[in-house]
Amino acid sequence: MNSSLSIPQRLLIVATIPDTIEAFLLPFIRYFRALGWRVDGMAQDISQDAVCLDECDRCWDVEWSRNPLDFRNLLVAVPRVQEVVAQGNYDLVHVHTPVAAFVTRYALKNRQGKEHPLVFYTAHGFHFHPAGNPIKNSIFLGLEKLAGNWTDCLITINREDEAAAKKHRFLDPENIYYTPGIGLDINHYNHQNLSAAEIASVRDELKLAPTDSLLLCIAEFIPRKRHSDILQALNKLNRPDIHLALAGNGDLQAEIAQLTIKLGLEKQVHFLGFRSDIPRLISASNATILTSQQEGLPRSILESLSIGTPVIGTNIRGIKDLLADNCGLLVEVGDIKALAQAMAYIVDNTDAAVQIGQRSQSKIAEYDSNKIVRTYAELYNHALKNRRC
């Protein structure tokens, strides 16, 4: 098996759903294909994703559940993974997202010798975390320890996960790496790419008055995002001049909409659904808000930092990495009073908000996708030469 990036390799990128590949991993696919590598993708229903079909050399379907405790993942997906890897004869298998990562590593745990692929795992946020249920934390921690035995390289994207991986010795410390996220196309999220008219059109769409302020939350409507905290804080402020836009879809959207009506906020809260114009929305906002209780390294905050829009976020892993050095406002999870105060502070202190945005832009270069891709290339090269990181 070849051991240099200068010689074409065979890489399989695995994620639970194709959306992950499409949203985060295309720069990696393009970079390595440009080197002459064969880069395939595997995810549930990936053959129905036009972007993945166009970007990858080949796409492989696999049936698994996003529920990490669904035992069908082992019964159905494991033989499929083994079949695909045997047929593809890969040099490297790189897995993303927890379910795909555990199942794939389990399927390949008995590989031996140089004729079998090296297995990389990028942890987008371990399922165990300080705010998690102790029993679930124990289960997920045990699974990560077990799967570490079947992993050649572990890449973490925030410092808390890096420390946890080394503390619990998922792998030998020299095989655990930190990268600042998995990259962002910072040129795409450049405020200067948008005209004043494009930005103003967002306010027109929402029918905002000239004196109104706009706060934005970009998040799937799922429990860990805690949208209700933002509504409770907005209600506590009792300021009709502050509007909230919620971009995203999800199972809890109807419930959050009902809470909006219950609190009497329907004139201030705007449900935008899925949007493809995220840079425009962020640029039109006074601040973005993320009140999650669990994250890896949230993309919406990276996007805001790149544009220079201030961020209000919860003091958890990933978010606190990004908002360190006064690059945003941090509040504790569930602290409605502090969240309301942070919202009012951003709206009422324009100069301070501008300074926060400027500080955030000064640090975004380290998260540039071009830089992260080159780091991955170095890790691959090291692994291939040594047959273990």
State percent of the chain over pLDDT 70. Answer: 96
> Average pLDDT for residues 140-147, to the nearest whole number?
93
Q: What is the DSSP string of 336-381?
A: HHHHHHHHHHHHH-HHHHHHHHHHHHHHGGGGBHHHHHHHHHHHHH
Largest CA distance in the chain: 67
In this prediction, residue 6 carries a pLDDT of 58
Query: How many angstroms separate the Cα of 171 from the Cα of each of 66, 120, 286, 319, 388?
Result: 25, 12, 43, 25, 11
- Picking from 147, 146, 156, 83, the residue whose alpha carbon sits closest to that of residue 321 is 156
In this prediction, residue 5 carries a pLDDT of 60
Question: 179: exposed, middle or buried (C-beta count within 10 Å: 0-12, 13-18, 19+)?
Answer: buried
Taking the C-alpha atoms of residue 370 and residue 185, their distance in angstroms, rounded to an integer, is 8
Handedness of CA 294, 129, 321, 93 (dihedral sign): negative
Bridge partners (DSSP) of residue 275 are none
Bridge partners (DSSP) of residue 218 are 247
- Picking from 57, 61, 63, 122, the residue whose alpha carbon sits closest to that of residue 90 is 57
Checking DSSP bridges between strand 269-273 and strand 176-178, what pairing results, if any? unpaired
Straight-line distance from the first to the last Cα atom of the chain, in angstroms, rounded to the nearest whole number? 16
In this prediction, residue 2 carries a pLDDT of 42
Bridge partners (DSSP) of residue 287 are 215
Which pLDDT band, with edges at 50, 70 and 90, does 115 fall under?
low
Which pLDDT band, with edges at 50, 70 and 90, does 127 fall under?
confident
Residue 30, φ and ψ in degrees, nearest 5: -65, -40
pLDDT tens digit string along 344-368? Answer: 999 999 999 999 999 988 889 899 9
In this prediction, residue 305 carries a pLDDT of 94
154 pLDDT above the threshold of 70: yes
Which pLDDT band, with edges at 50, 70 and 90, does 3 fall under?
very low
* Residue 320 near residue 130, CB atoms below 8 Å: no
pLDDT tens digit string along 280-335? Answer: 999 999 999 999 999 999 999 999 999 999 999 999 999 999 999 999 999 999 99
10-183+368-386 shares its CATH topology with 191-367: yes
Amino acid at position 315, single letter = N
pTM value > 0.75: yes
Q: Where are the domains of the chain?
A: 10-183+368-386, 191-367
CATH architecture of structural domain 191-367: 3-Layer(aba) Sandwich (3.40)
Taking the C-alpha atoms of residue 117 and residue 382, their distance in angstroms, rounded to an integer, is 14
10-183+368-386 is classed CATH 3.40.50.2000:
yes
pLDDT tens digit string along 192-242? Answer: 888 999 999 999 999 999 999 999 999 999 999 999 999 999 999 999 999
> Average pLDDT for residues 244-255, to the nearest whole number?
97
Length of the chain: 389
91 pLDDT above the threshold of 70: yes
Q: What is the DSSP letter of 184?
A: B
In this prediction, residue 314 carries a pLDDT of 98
